[in-house]
Amino acid sequence: QVEDVVGCHVEDAVTFWAQNVNRCNDLLKLSCALAEACPRADAVFGKPDFSKIYGGCFSEDRCWYRCMVQQVINNEKAGTIFCQVLYIDYGNSEVLNRSDIVEIPPNLQCPSVAKKYRLWGLQIPNDQNLNMFDQGKKFLSSLVFEKEIKIRHKAKHEDGTIIAQAEYENIDIGEEVVKAGLAEKCTAPVNTKDVEERKIDVMQNQHRKIKVSVPLWLNRSDHATYSIPKGRFDQVAASVKNQNFTASRTFAPKEKMLASTSVPDTTVAQIRPDQRLSKDEVVRRENVDLFQRQKELELKVQQLKRELQKEKEASRKTAEICEETLRTYIGTKIRSLAAKVKTLKEVRHTNKNSRFGEQLSQAIKIVTEGCLTVPCSLEKLQKIWTEYDLAQERIQLCRNVDETDALISKRDEVQQNLYSAAEELILEVDHLPLSERSRTLQELSASLEKVYGQGSETGHSEEVFLEFFKWKSAKMKKLISVRNETDAALQILAGWFSGILKCFDLMSAEACSDLEEVAGNADEILKKVELAICEELDTDLNEHDEAEKGIIMNAYNKVIHNIRQEQSMITAIQNRYLASVEFKKQTEEWLNRRPNINNLLSIKKTVKSLKAQLRWKLVEKNNFEESDDYSEFKMTRIKEEIADLRNRVLQEVSKEQEEYEKLTYLVQKWFPELPLLYPEAGILNYMNSGGLLTHSLERDLLDAEPMKELSTKRPLVCSEIQGQKVLLKGYSVDITSEAKVIERVAKYHRAWDQQKEKSGLLQLLFLLFCKASDPLVYLMVPYYPRASLGALQADTPLTLEEALKVMKGVARGLQTLHGANIVHGSLHGNNVFALNRKQGIVGDFDFTKSEEQRAAANTMVVSTLSLVSPELKMGQPASPASDMYAYGCLLFWLCAQNHEFGIKEDGTPDVDVVVMDDKVKSLLRNLFCSNRLTAEQVLRDDCFLVVDVIPVSPQPAEEHDPHEEHDSEKTDEEKMRLTEESGASPTQ
């Protein structure tokens, strides 16, 4: 270990105490703390503790320092107890009255600052006398006292003494001591204890010859040299503040403060308590003070000399730099000006192309001068249209036929006024450049956003535009003024160069008139040119302070606000214009006539006639089958006639649906009175069912094949209509449940109708009612045999790629349902279809049950995996989240194939034990957690990024084979039986 220390006390020719140079601040803090704590501290009472640190009042300066008691000396005659103490932060010692030793706080009980060092490989000769001992001590003191020395640790004794090699300015201190003959090199390992004993023996031998009545430390001849009485704390602080002092100066006050004497083994008889300082001692102290001051001044002079030398060196370098600068001044100056002029040219070119503030100024002009105004006829039209809508609403809410005529007459009157106002608006708008203006505003907004970013709505008035133009004008005036000054300065410089050229042109006959004036103005001209160029370069049009940025952004935000406001107005005018055009067209179409249901009644009449013929043919067919004159040829002809009649009935039903659609449009847009005027047409029933309800089709008239194996709960038949296989699902309803079923069917159908084949849902075709005596309603849907997930997995399981394509379509279907606020509640393997093994659609559900009843059915299981979410098992209502849980279970079932899996404590499947794609596994974890993904989020998952959903085709792609997609009928029957056994109503 190597450290830099400052010597503070010398014991003998080979032993000294020193302080680390980095402990200066520690000494300062200790002095402050001791000066504050010790005067108020309790004096030591009883026998002192030799292992404890106390505060001792040094006899020379009466300041407090940390010390340890080494020996207790009782003066029986004076009745006073003295203690020999070691000042642990400096290394010297003295004898103190016990009353001058006090207790110090625990925070000051820290290790000593000074350490005891012994020169490596040296020892004091055995025959050394006291005189040689003192000489050795003085010699080592001259080498280490208040000197910054480098210590290299070699060993350490048990008493803490560090055996080290000491160097001062590349001088080996140990070697110097040996050369002086004051110590000798060890021939055997040095024992510190033996050395101390020899040192004490030398001193004691000499003490026997000296008889004194006062303590030896007061009578030592060298006392003035090593014991400096003064050195107060303020001196320490002053020295610390002087940061330019050397390391040895930093430690000087505290080092000199404490005596560097050794305390002999003095007897009690040699100490007199009434001892006082003599006049000689006072003089001696003054001499010591003067000596201290002398040394401080000497150090100060040395420091000032070093600083003076540094200043001289700095001045010399500065002079050299100035001389070099003057030597190349003209070239450097001209080169600098040329570079700045080049930069100025580029800046002017850039500013010229940027057209400062021109884009925003032009935008302000566009939004203020070219702004369109609201047509005068628009407000009038809107007022009449509101009145017209109110009249239509009154007709729609009317349930009394007798009041209808008055309401219709009032509506027709308002309609005529609205027609006139619409014509007026159309004529006025036709002369407005709405499309061109809208396109201009869009282009302007896009170009401004590229420069200024996204604008924000603001409530500033038009004054922000005035403020912007005022700021821009001031900015341009300042720039023009600066440019003019620059041009003028450069012109003067060019003239000066022209004069210089004439002076140095030997071939010119013209002599320079005033050489002094030409040369004398050079510095001033160059300075003015440089200042002018720098000022123009600092005047950057594209850099603005916060206030200027605020002006620009306020103007920009106001422009964007005006653009959006005008675009909104244009959109409103265009929408009202298109509505007026449509209203005018419809009004002209029905101006002199009223819509009626004659076409609908005619179609119904035709259907009725065809149905009657079909019934007779069916009776004829049945009778002929039992007739004795049965003929295969005649039977074939009868079947062909029946098939023809069925097709004609279906064609007329299609015409009837089209006529209903026309009437529905008229009711919703123009004639809400039609259902009230023609109740026999059943327009409201058609509208309430979403266009599915028809009374013209009957189950008995269709060539339906009963599916007995699937009809344990409700009638289920299969038929074919215009080449498409369909399934008729029968629901038993009463007056109360009929409206609810129709409402649920209509809501589902409207959700499908929004996207049709892209909705991901099974299409509903018709809703058929039987005769009044038969409380059944049949729902007609497309039939996809052996296309359910359950059938496919039992036969030929889907691959991972096929499963992902199918399940993306299923997610699309759930997104459609959830977007329409519909909870499926019955998603299972027999209710999800995979058309062509890559097109997934969600099947319908039992419309007679609520979502909670559907979710509680025992069909919610696939293989051994329950599709019921944990929250449903806890009694919470069904929700889109429970649908997504069932979706996740189906996806897990498809991907896991026949692999075994476990069930967690919360009832969810353990995904981690099954080997599958990491992306699929991550998706499943997000579908089984409490905060599940929505259908929309599932569609954006990484699993489905490369999977394309093919639009649903209504045509079945496989042969007819009734199978398990309707097996749910059986399990529903079992559920119903269990419910009835528990005492609950099946309809709940």
Q: Between 582 and 369, where is the model more confident?
A: 582
982: CB partners within 8 A, 6+ apart: none
Q: What was the pLDDT predicted at 235?
A: 37
- % of the chain with per-residue pLDDT over 90: 23
Winning range, highest mean pLDDT, from 73-82, 205-214, 609-618, 704-713:
609-618
Q: What was the pLDDT predicted at 355?
A: 56
DSSP state of 949: P
Winning range, highest mean pLDDT, from 33-42, 315-324, 361-370:
33-42
DSSP state of 5: E
Q: 364: buried, middle or exposed (CB in 10 Å: 19+, 13-18, 0-12)?
A: buried
Convert the pLDDT of each residue in 640-650 to its tens digit: 898 888 888 88
Least confident segment among 281-285, 358-362, 478-482: 281-285
Q: Between 704 and 975, where is the model more confident?
A: 704
For residue 285, what are its two tokens?
């102290």
- The mean per-residue pLDDT over the stretch 343-350 comes to 80
Q: What was the pLDDT predicted at 946?
A: 63
Q: 381: buried, middle or exposed (CB in 10 Å: 19+, 13-18, 0-12)?
A: buried
Q: What was the pLDDT predicted at 195?
A: 52
- % of the chain with per-residue pLDDT over 70: 81
Average pLDDT, the chain: 79
Residue 518 has pLDDT above 90, yes or no: no
Helix 358-369 × helix 546-589 angle, to 10°: 30
Convert the pLDDT of each residue in 153-188 to its tens digit: 999 988 889 999 999 988 899 999 999 889 998 875
472 to 187, 477, 551: CA distances (angstroms): 95, 9, 10
Convert the pLDDT of each residue in 450-478 to its tens digit: 877 776 666 567 788 888 888 887 777 88
Cα dihedral angle (491, 492, 494, 499), rounded to 10 degrees? 150
For residue 73, the cross-strand partners are: 82
Nearest to 617, CA basis, from 642, 636, 637: 642
Q: Cα–Cα distance between 135 and 270 in angstroms, integer?
A: 26
Cα dihedral angle (134, 138, 143, 144), rounded to 10 degrees? 90
Least confident segment among 421-435, 488-502, 653-667: 488-502
Winning range, highest mean pLDDT, from 301-315, 514-528, 537-551, 759-773:
301-315
Confidence of residue 947 (pLDDT cuts 50, 70, 90): low
Convert the pLDDT of each residue in 866-880 to its tens digit: 888 888 888 888 999
DSSP state of 591: S
Q: Cα–Cα distance between 945 and 962 in angstroms, integer?
A: 35
Residue 102 has pLDDT above 90, yes or no: yes
Residue 228 has pLDDT above 60, yes or no: no
Residue 23 has pLDDT above 70, yes or no: yes
- The mean per-residue pLDDT over the stretch 34-47 comes to 90
Q: What was the pLDDT predicted at 627?
A: 81
For residue 912, what are its two tokens?
């981690």
Nearest to 646, CA basis, from 717, 724, 720: 720
Burial code (b: 16+ CB inside 10 Å, e: under 16) for 511-536 equals eeeeeeeeeeeeeeebebbbebbeeb
Least confident segment among 55-69, 158-172, 180-194, 676-690: 180-194
Contact yes or no for 1/244 (Cβ under 8 A): no
Residue 15 has pLDDT above 80, yes or no: yes
Residue 288 has pLDDT above 80, yes or no: no
Convert the pLDDT of each residue in 809-863 to its tens digit: 999 999 999 999 999 988 888 889 999 888 899 998 888 888 888 877 766 777 7
Residue 513 has pLDDT above 70, yes or no: no
Q: Cα–Cα distance between 578 and 381 in angstroms, integer?
A: 13
Q: Cα–Cα distance between 377 and 389 in angstroms, integer?
A: 18
Q: Cα–Cα distance between 935 and 941 in angstroms, integer?
A: 10
- The mean per-residue pLDDT over the stretch 112-132 comes to 90
Q: What was the pLDDT predicted at 624?
A: 83
Confidence of residue 980 (pLDDT cuts 50, 70, 90): very low
Q: Cα–Cα distance between 230 and 214 in angstroms, integer?
A: 22
Burial code (b: 16+ CB inside 10 Å, e: under 16) for 589-617 equals eeeeeebebeebeebbebbeebbebbeeb
Q: Characterize the bridge pairing of strands 64-75 and 53-57.
A: antiparallel
Residue 201 has pLDDT above 60, yes or no: no
What phi and psi, each to the nearest 5 degrees, are found at residue 314? Answer: -65, -40
Q: What is this structure's pTM? A: 0.53
Q: What was the pLDDT predicted at 900?
A: 76
- The mean per-residue pLDDT over the stretch 704-712 comes to 68
- The mean per-residue pLDDT over the stretch 256-281 comes to 43
Confidence of residue 514 (pLDDT cuts 50, 70, 90): low
Confidence of residue 237 (pLDDT cuts 50, 70, 90): very low
Residue 710 has pLDDT above 70, yes or no: no
Q: What was the pLDDT predicted at 78?
A: 66
Please give the single-letter amino acid code of residue 702: L
Q: Cα–Cα distance between 457 and 461 in angstroms, integer?
A: 12
Convert the pLDDT of each residue in 354-384 to its tens digit: 556 677 888 888 888 878 888 888 889 999 9
Least confident segment among 331-335, 723-727, 974-978: 974-978
Contact yes or no for 21/250 (Cβ under 8 A): yes
Q: What was the pLDDT predicted at 542?
A: 58
Q: What was the pLDDT predicted at 269?
A: 35
- The mean per-residue pLDDT over the stretch 545-569 comes to 82
Residue 969 has pLDDT above 50, yes or no: no
Q: Cα–Cα distance between 394 and 375 in angstroms, integer?
A: 30
